[in-house]
Structure 1
Amino acid sequence: MNNGSPLFSGLCTLIEQIASTSGTDLRKRRFEKYLYDFRSQYGHDFYNGMRLLLPHLDHRKYNVKEMKLAKIYIEALGLGRNSADAQDLLKFRQPGSSSNKYVKATGDFAGVAFNKISDRSTVQKPTQTINDVNALLDELSAPEDKDEKPNAVHIRIFRKIINLYTAFEQKWLIRIILKDLKMGMSDGSIFQVYHPQAREMYSVCSNFEKVCKDLQDPFVKLNKSTIGLFQPFKPQLGHKDVPKDVRAISHEGKFYIEEKLDGDRMQMHYDATTQRFKWFTRKSNDYTQYYGEKPLPGKLSGHIVDSLKGVSLVLDGEMMTYDPKLDVFLPFGGLRTAALDTSLDPHKAHPCFVVFDIVYCNNTPLLDYPLKDRIKLLNNVVTENRGWIHLLPRETKTTHQDIINALDRAMSLRQEGLVIKNPGSIYEPGTRNTTWIKLKPEYIDSLNDTCDLLVIGAKYGTGKHRGGRLSQFLCAIRDDRSTTKEPKFMTFCMLGTGYTVDELDKFKEKFKELEPYDAQRQPEWLIHPEKSDENPEMIVDYRRSVVVEVKASEIIWGNTYGSGSTLRFPRFMSFREDKTWEDIMTWSDMNKAKREGTLGGQKRSVTDKDFTGQPKKRKTSAAARKTKLGFSHQGVDTRNIKTKTSLFSDLSFYVVSGDESTNKAQLETMIKENDGKFLQTTHGVKYIVAGSKNPRVDGIISKDEQDIVFPKWIVDCVEEQDLVPLGPKYMLHITEATKDTFRQEMDPWGDLYIKEATEQSLRDVMSRMTIGFNENTQRPLADEIRERYFHHQGIPGMMFLGVKAYLDDDNGTMDSSCLDMHWVRAQKSHERMTLASKQIRFRGGQIVNCIEPGITHVIMDPDNLDRLQALTDATKGTLLPRFVTTDWIDACVNNKTLIDERRYEPKIPHSASTTLSTKHN
């Protein structure tokens, strides 16, 4: 035995105990005891042990995944390729493929392997130490000899493992190699036990070895952790919520407004003495190979070195793709291609670093310096080089109206959004707090924001272009209510449109390890109705999958999915390679989106009300303060009512009266039990509830400002434990605005276009029908057909069904007597617009002759953008339509689906565009 290191089996026992223990505090105590015993006997250096406890933070790469490990073990154990044991290893993800009682969950390769190894292992007593394991892992991570056969080195190493390690040790060794221990203890908890400063230090340096080495002694406290040159850190991120009071983000009454860029978050490290650069992403991935370690031609570093004046610098910014021909930044997605292009063509698209902060200068960390001082320094040490390195402009403002105006301007310029920053704030790595607030504009054809979803399944397509290939993808959200060690994912929608043929091929590249889906044997991490009508043919493990950005019109009822809701008309936007399953939309996010107005198409722009703080209290007389409500107006006593669910969270009600089955007090009790709030006034409430008309109800109706719902809606919501979609059967009074919404979602008798009819629902609809109606049913019927039969891929040939477009074509009446080049260009533009109009009409879209409410797209000729600003101004005050060129029409027709509009927005050169004014502070 090596007395300088404890047995590896002891560490495996610790991990097994932690994995089977409930409660964070108890898990910490178990680790704390082990660490105390280790330090007492072997000293303070526990780095090798930490590498095994947190393998995903260790930079060693083994280049093996489960399938490769299965083949290696089949060879190393001498199993027949077609034997039952070999097939169990190869099909470890297939539910029910193994009778192994040690398997923790479907897809647990280590558990399946343990079963096979334990039947054959002759090693009964553990002999290998923690140091031995690390030496073995060093050998496994070494580059393969090109002269040897593929996997020969790995097979030789694993034969050694089989001869030296017990089956129990191999189970945990496999999980270490796969960098997924499944022990239910977070990095933060392990760091906290190791040393009180470890978590903070790792957030600012992202150097696992440095943290473990510098903080060996738990009783030695270092100075406050700070960043260092060439040490990646976790950047500060923007908070997503709209500020309720600008004072919270102000310093001395002022705040900064910056444009939110649609690029790749990047930090640049530079040492002038050695002319060395390092580039790191927000996840601390090293991207130096793309942007250059030395200032050489063909790399970004070579173009910006003369713009940097400091001895040593660390800059925080956004990496963008710049098109020198158009003098614009291109949409996110082509950055990697542009970075890999090392040609010297001056007209090619290339990376451009847009800097908005400096956190290190001349060997001095600047984290504790206020933002306003960091900006002054940044302007002194960085000089712009157009197209290669830019300083992000900002405005200094004071009121919430300034934010509204800036957001309106961002919408006009089709920018990603805004970031509001506190000038007096320090830089806090790894945090997302309210000193930085990010805001995004809203568009007429989508939810307030796009959704980041996880693809967990797929179906094969049909037809010429999609036949035989995976072309529909089942997407999921994360269930953040789950308390299990392994995360759970709830199916949310089936995605079938929005991607090009090339992007479909990219899906195929990303999904190489698929298993057939069996509704009777679902993985434990998946929540999906067993008898759902929307099932995938193949399924992919959430750890091997990909995050996609999805756009849709709204969130609607959808009991065919595990979340109980779904997206209406979902459309693929882009791959989000910078995100993992931990970053996707959660169950709470989905319900918050439904409550905040995206449900039912009630989308709106940011207004003055979003930024006001607490409402001012109205002065009342003493007599008024003493006045009590009459008994019939008083609410139920809530002191002894306990909240059971969050169904009505953030919702307020005014219950005027009940009905024959449920009285006012019972309704208010239901509201309180489900986390709702009830008032005794109509002011500021979302829902007014009444069972019948009375003088008080008649007074509310006469104002025609608010809807009134029957008590039955409250009862049904509680029974279903979901916000049941409102319809005529639930309404005592309907305002004109709600009638317009209902017209889009249901027929005049309350039959929802998006929900399967039942016997009872048909009876309800029939009871409300009258004879002799006159309605133009053509387009609503097309929407119904699309919803019912072509929900995922759309009606063939009708891709523009939801498009209502205005085409900017004023060249149709030009005088042909003057046949000059201007006339020729105008005629070509007119022909393109005429063809675009026909393409849209032929494929189900609508064309209007003027800017009017409800248009979804403004179509422009790419060679004639003179009226862009005028058209943008004409759409102000409404939800902004998408501005695209005729190239978008061609791309949609060629790919037989609606393509992301952001790729085809009219590009105005920076020199001609109106941008935020630069104010260097």
Structure 2
Amino acid sequence: MIDDPSVNDELPNSSKVVKFSNLCNLLERISKSQGAIAKQKLMIRFISDWRKTHKEVHANDLPTSTIAATTTTTAATTTAEGQTTTSSSLSGTSPIIMQDSFYPILRLLLPQSDRERIAYGLKESKLGKHLVEVLSISKDSDDGKKLLNFRVQKNTRTQKGSDFAEVAYYVLKNRCNEDVTMSIWEINKILDEIAVENGKGKEGQKVIDHRLTYLLRHLSALELKWLIRILLKDLRVSLKENSILECFHPDAKDLFDHTSNLFKVAVYLHDPEKRLHEIGLSLFSPFRPMLGERTRADKIEQLIRKKSTNPTAALAEFYIETKYDGDRFQVHRDKDQFMYFSRNGHDYTSVFGPDANNIGTLTPYIANTFKIDCEKCIIDGEMVIYNRNEKIIHSKGDSFDVKSIQANDSQLQPCLIVFDILMYNDEILTNKPMNERLQYLQKKILEPIEGRIIFSVIKPGTSNQDVINELNLAIEERQEGIVVKDPWSVYKPNVRENGGWYKIKPDYTIGLNDEIDCLIVGGYFGTGRLRAGMLSHFLCCAVVKQANTTNNSEQKNPDDENATTSTQCKPDVHDYLYYTFCKIGSGYTHKELLDFNNRFANKWKPWTKKTAPSYILCTHEKPDVCIEPSDSCIVQVKATEFMASDKYKCGFTLRFPRLEKFREDKAWYECVTYQELIDLRERNAGKLASRFMEHELNDDFDLNDDGQRTITLTKKLQVKSRQQAKPTVDSRFRGIDQQSVKQTRHYFSSLGFCIMEGNTKYTKAELEKLVYENDGTCVQNALAKTYCVVTKVSCYI
């Protein structure tokens, strides 16, 4: 095995003494214990035993100082593979603790939070194939089928194993040597090798296969069970990350929120009696950013008045910003050196560039924008994709990844939208209110460059109506939503609730988003105690009528009063093709899921290449089982927007889809058609928010003067003064009065237009005037009969 550069093999180390079997036995006991308190007691006892072992291992070492007040200096270096890494020097920390801490165990307890080890590239399917090959298990045997197709099992609840690791345990327990074990130190060395070799092609895969084979020969079945869960980064012990951290030290959660670094948690907080009374941010050390609390537009005044720390204002005062649909990033700068960290603390400096002299998609273009007096800073913002040809910002729904853009791309480039600052030179700003931080941001940091680095536009607000107006504007401009911030809020890393930041999106408000009736054609088996053996995710489709079918099978119009209920009018299931469209796995209760599984228990068939129905068309996303469309049911699905995807036959899918309800009142042939999806996607430029919010509304739909369906939504509380002016959409987006326009031509006779916005040459009002002058009509929300929808960049007919 290769040497681990972080550990000196010649020095005593507790991770060489503590066996991996000890950790596995702990996890096994925790998984079987009931209640968080009982689980935490087991964890605390294990950590206490480790501390005793650590003292024994170092009993003969020369005495050294324990952790004192620490300062961190971090240098950015670039590896041969082109990845930027950080090396930390923790001055004031005992060399013994630097060399031997709880870190080797902590990273195994929290594999999903280990930022130092990159992805292993191992999932259930690859691990199953490897186990079958190494142990010479026949693929057609019962054990082989369990490992290769562990989800597709009938009556899984009657079999042993609720997830892949447990299934593997019962297959391996009579095949593994129970008399051998490895140390924590050895396990970590092999996991480091697997992570390093991942992505190196065939040669790397050979090394990974060799290491996995070694583990199979030197671990018991129980140890392999927990190793598999570590590799899959899901221990399934029902003990949350915060609970494990708090078992180690009462300040561990706060420090991890500020650093996203398990090594620093283990080293800084080695002594359980030492407390971090003031936690500061460190340059070039990522932290977990502050988040927005989800709420509705008509709740802001109440929330700000109730929770703001503003000592003087009698009225609610707040800032309103656009919620951009990008990737959250923090940028750390020390003179000419830059580092970029994602929301989860992953380092993408090699993508955006460590300095102005290296290849990168952003740093070379923004390095000189920072003011001379600003030598160091940490800024928080959203990394979006800017199209310099069209001068627009793309959303994630356009299926672009800002981290994958090449430096030589002729059209797309990353753009950082800055909305907060956490450090200015050597001054930490997190404890300053937002209104003071903005003074630093707007006056002392940088000069913005269009399309590269800009400031988020901040608008003041004092009422719910201000929020509603901005939300409507965001809907009109096809934005994701808005963010409202308390000017007196301090910056709290990894805090969402009660922090003073609130995010508002159209789909948080009932009725503002279109809902889609999809037909379930496939299912996926779940894992875990509650979902094992059940179908917990579903593949949904839209229908396409085949050209060679007769008129007798035309779909019935449910609004037709003369429609008959005769079975002769019902379409035949084989008259249609079924285009897969999206996969849903949330939105329902456990009882609803149980009822659905019981109702359709005998209708499902395994999906294989030989048995897959020819009329259900898939691409990359294939289900575990499928169902005859006429035996299935319709589900009402809600999402934020459409996004391109080659995983589904439709060529696009939904972003963040969730089930609203099972539509038992609808027949299978009343589901959405492929053409209806295309029309909906084009009409709203990919968004599903197609209605505006008003301040005084109920949950009923009304028809306005143009015959359009509108929805109003308000708190069902007392309405304020009846003399209050009725809020409306901003004047820039209102339709003009047709009576004021003189008709001169008849080019658009009987044609309906929906002009959503103007462009640099014509305003919305000017375009509507042209339509009326030519005998056309205009509506403000597109209908099925609308002839043409006009937006800034496209015209849909």
* TM-score between the two structures when normalised by the length of structure 1: 0.55
Q: Where does residue 714 of structure 1 map in the other structure?
A: none
Q: Is the 8 A contact 1:47 1:213 kept in 2?
A: yes
2:151 paired with 1:93 = yes
Matches within 5 A, 1:434-513: 434=498, 435-440=500-505, 447=512, 456-458=538-540, 471-478=580-587, 508-509=619-620, 511=621
Q: Is the 8 A contact 1:807 1:860 kept in 2?
A: no
Q: Where does residue 214 of structure 1 map in the other structure?
A: 268
Deviates more, 1:196-205 or 1:457-466: 457-466
Deviates more, 1:93-102 or 1:44-53: 93-102
Q: Is the 8 A contact 1:322 1:349 kept in 2?
A: yes
1:332-364 deviation line (CA, Å, top 9, x unaligned): 434745664446677x24322111111122133
Q: Where does residue 340 of structure 2 map in the other structure?
A: 279
Q: Is the 8 A contact 2:431 2:491 kept in 1?
A: yes
Q: Distance in 1 between matches of 2:653 and 2:102?
A: 36
Q: Where does residue 19 of structure 2 map in the other structure?
A: 7
2:117 paired with 1:62 = no
Q: Is the 8 A contact 1:98 1:112 kept in 2?
A: no
Note the C-alpha offset of 1:152.
Answer: 2.9
Deviates more, 1:52-61 or 1:90-99: 90-99
Matches within 5 A, 1:765-776: none
Say which of 93, 106, 110 aligns to 1:50: 106
Q: Where does residue 533 of structure 1 map in the other structure?
A: 633
Q: Where does residue 231 of structure 1 map in the other structure?
A: 285
Aligned in 2, Cα 1:159/1:230: closer, same or farther, shift over 3 Å? same
Q: How many residues get paired?
A: 598
Deviates more, 1:394-403 or 1:181-190: 394-403
Say which of 313, 337, 345 aligns to 2:377: 313
Matches within 5 A, 1:794-813: none
Q: Is the 8 A contact 1:117 1:167 kept in 2?
A: yes
Q: Where does residue 238 of structure 2 map in the other structure?
A: 184
Aligned in 2, Cα 1:337/1:265: closer, same or farther, shift over 3 Å? closer
Q: Distance in 2 between matches of 1:285 and 1:367?
A: 21
Aligned in 2, Cα 1:862/1:377: closer, same or farther, shift over 3 Å? closer
1:644-697 deviation line (CA, Å, top 9, x unaligned): xxxxxxxxxxxxxxxxxxxxxxxxxxxxxxxxxxxxxxxxxxxxxxxxxxxxxx
Q: Which runs of 5+ in 2 are unaligned?
A: 1-11, 56-96, 519-535, 548-574, 600-615, 637-646, 682-696, 703-708, 722-734, 772-778
1:746-775 deviation line (CA, Å, top 9, x unaligned): xxxxxxxxxxxxxxxxxxxxxxxxxxxxxx
Q: Where does residue 419 of structure 1 map in the other structure?
A: 483
2:321 paired with 1:259 = yes
Aligned in 2, Cα 1:373/1:871: closer, same or farther, shift over 3 Å? farther
Q: Is the 8 A contact 1:321 1:334 kept in 2?
A: no
Aligned in 2, Cα 1:317/1:262: closer, same or farther, shift over 3 Å? same
Q: Where does residue 291 of structure 1 map in the other structure?
A: 352
Matches within 5 A, 1:673-692: none
1:135-177 deviation line (CA, Å, top 9, x unaligned): 2222322316969667432332233222211111111111111
Amino acid at match of 1:208: L
Q: Distance in 1 between matches of 2:461 and 2:439?
A: 17
Q: Where does residue 198 of structure 1 map in the other structure?
A: 252
**For 2:585, what is the secondary structure of its paired residue?**
strand
Q: Where does residue 162 of structure 1 map in the other structure?
A: 216
Note the C-alpha offset of 1:131.
Answer: 1.8
**For 1:269, what is the secondary structure of its paired residue?**
strand
Note the C-alpha offset of 1:806.
Answer: 12
Q: Is the 8 A contact 1:259 1:416 kept in 2?
A: no
1:777-836 deviation line (CA, Å, top 9, x unaligned): xxxxxxxxxxxxxxxxxxxxxxxxxxxx9999x999778xxxxxxxxxxx9xx7xx79xx
Say which of 333, 353, 360 aligns to 2:423: 360
Say which of 62, 82, 85 aligns to 2:140: 82
Say which of 289, 300, 305 aligns to 1:243: 300
Q: Where does residue 23 of structure 1 map in the other structure?
A: 35
Q: Where does residue 385 of structure 1 map in the other structure?
A: 449
Aligned in 2, Cα 1:255/1:883: closer, same or farther, shift over 3 Å? farther
Aligned in 2, Cα 1:407/1:263: closer, same or farther, shift over 3 Å? closer
Say which of 613, 624, 630 aligns to 1:515: 624
Aligned in 2, Cα 1:382/1:53: closer, same or farther, shift over 3 Å? same
Note the C-alpha offset of 1:262.
Answer: 2.7
2:403 paired with 1:329 = no
Aligned in 2, Cα 1:158/1:238: closer, same or farther, shift over 3 Å? closer
Aligned in 2, Cα 1:140/1:468: closer, same or farther, shift over 3 Å? farther
Aligned in 2, Cα 1:337/1:20: closer, same or farther, shift over 3 Å? closer
Q: Distance in 1 between matches of 2:493 and 2:141?
A: 52
Note the C-alpha offset of 1:187.
Answer: 0.6
2:701 paired with 1:558 = no
1:485-514 deviation line (CA, Å, top 9, x unaligned): xxx9999xxxxxxxxxxxxx99944x36x4
Aligned in 2, Cα 1:363/1:598: closer, same or farther, shift over 3 Å? farther
**For 2:237, what is the secondary structure of its paired residue?**
coil
Q: Distance in 2 between matches of 1:464 and 1:34?
A: 65
Q: Is the 8 A contact 2:376 2:425 kept in 1?
A: yes
Q: Distance in 2 between matches of 1:47 and 1:243?
A: 43
Matches within 5 A, 1:723-762: none
2:766 paired with 1:866 = no
**For 1:225, what is the secondary structure of its paired residue?**
coil
1:514-546 deviation line (CA, Å, top 9, x unaligned): 422589xxxxxxxxxx9853599xxxxxxx999
Aligned in 2, Cα 1:444/1:396: closer, same or farther, shift over 3 Å? closer
Q: Where does residue 760 of structure 1 map in the other structure?
A: none
**For 1:15, what is the secondary structure of its paired residue?**
helix
Q: Is the 8 A contact 2:377 2:424 kept in 1?
A: yes
Q: Distance in 1 between matches of 2:137 and 2:241?
A: 37
Aligned in 2, Cα 1:456/1:124: closer, same or farther, shift over 3 Å? same
Note the C-alpha offset of 1:66.
Answer: 0.9
Q: Where does residue 48 of structure 2 map in the other structure?
A: 36
Aligned in 2, Cα 1:28/1:65: closer, same or farther, shift over 3 Å? same
Amino acid at match of 1:866: T
Amino acid at match of 2:50: F
Note the C-alpha offset of 1:93.
Answer: 1.1
Note the C-alpha offset of 1:264.
Answer: 1.4
Aligned in 2, Cα 1:598/1:360: closer, same or farther, shift over 3 Å? farther
Q: Is the 8 A contact 2:431 2:490 kept in 1?
A: yes
Matches within 5 A, 1:815-826: none
Q: Is the 8 A contact 1:258 1:392 kept in 2?
A: no
Aligned in 2, Cα 1:100/1:556: closer, same or farther, shift over 3 Å? closer
Aligned in 2, Cα 1:479/1:360: closer, same or farther, shift over 3 Å? farther
**For 1:35, what is the secondary structure of its paired residue?**
helix
RMSD: 5.2
Q: Which runs of 5+ in 1 are unaligned?
A: 492-504, 520-529, 537-543, 575-595, 617-804, 816-826, 838-846, 850-856, 875-879, 891-900, 909-921
Q: Where does residue 644 of structure 2 map in the other structure?
A: none
Q: Distance in 1 between matches of 2:597 and 2:362?
A: 40
Q: Distance in 1 between matches of 2:213 and 2:509?
A: 62
Note the C-alpha offset of 1:195.
Answer: 0.7
Aligned in 2, Cα 1:314/1:868: closer, same or farther, shift over 3 Å? farther
Note the C-alpha offset of 1:285.
Answer: 3.4
Report % sequence identity: 24
Q: Distance in 2 between matches of 1:338 and 1:186?
A: 31
Q: Is the 8 A contact 1:443 1:882 kept in 2?
A: no
Q: Where does residue 693 of structure 2 map in the other structure?
A: none
